[in-house]
Amino acid sequence: MTGPRLKIHTAAMAANEKWAAKQKFMEFLGQKNLRLTSQRQAIIDTVLGTEEHFTAEQLLDWSRRRDRSVSRATVYRTLTLLTESGLVREMDFGKHHKFYDPNYLDHPNHSHIICQDCDRIVEFDSEKIERLENEISHKLGFELKTQRLQITARCQELKKLGACRKKAC
């Protein structure tokens, strides 16, 4: 496949994955006898429209750009539902707030590096780490189901320049 066709194919696949995730969530709501309100719709579209890790407050801000009526309470209730449904993962990186990982459904066994200085979160996959986790699990008599590796680090940019462009002032 050529470059432009590959991009179109990838975009179409991403759109299908988002549609499937939305359908999964709507089925989950139905099982709980809950409606898909316009506020929930805005929140879900916002979550499915990002690949960034986010806080509840960021989600509130982003969702209000779609629908000014989105309330803080609805964001928190919807985040709980999204987490219960498996579409996002709540992440505790030792900060005063939780982060939410919207890429959890796509690949649940990825790892994170969290910058201690600017809170930047970088996802990565490693076949070596995966093999090591499987090896350790089997040696200890377990079958690996999921894993979560969090590495806390410091920005090289901060070290080199004395300031980090990513850090919120």
Instruction: Summarize pLDDT for 99-119 with one digit per residue, the tens.
Output: 888 865 556 667 778 787 777
Q: Which of 60, 20, 29 is nearest to 42 (CA)?
A: 60
Per DSSP, the three-state class of 103 is coil
Distance from C-alpha of 122 to C-alpha of 145, rounded to nearest angstrom: 22
The two tokens of residue 69 are: 């009526």
Amino acid identity of residue 107, one-letter, is: H
Q: Which of 151, 169, 166 is nearest to 52 (CA)?
A: 166
| Three-point CA angle 15, 30, 26, nearest 5° | 10
Contact 162, 117 (CB under 8 A): no
Averaged pLDDT for residues 36-64: 93
Q: Is 0.85 surpassed by the pTM of this model?
A: no
Say if residue 40's pLDDT is above 50: yes
Instruction: Summarize pLDDT for 129-162 with one digit per residue, the tens.
Output: 888 888 999 999 998 877 777 788 887 766 666 6
Q: Whole-number mean pLDDT of the chain?
A: 81
β-bridge partners, 99: 91
Instruction: Summarize pLDDT for 58-112 with one digit per residue, the tens.
Output: 999 999 999 999 999 999 999 999 999 988 888 877 677 788 888 655 566 677 7
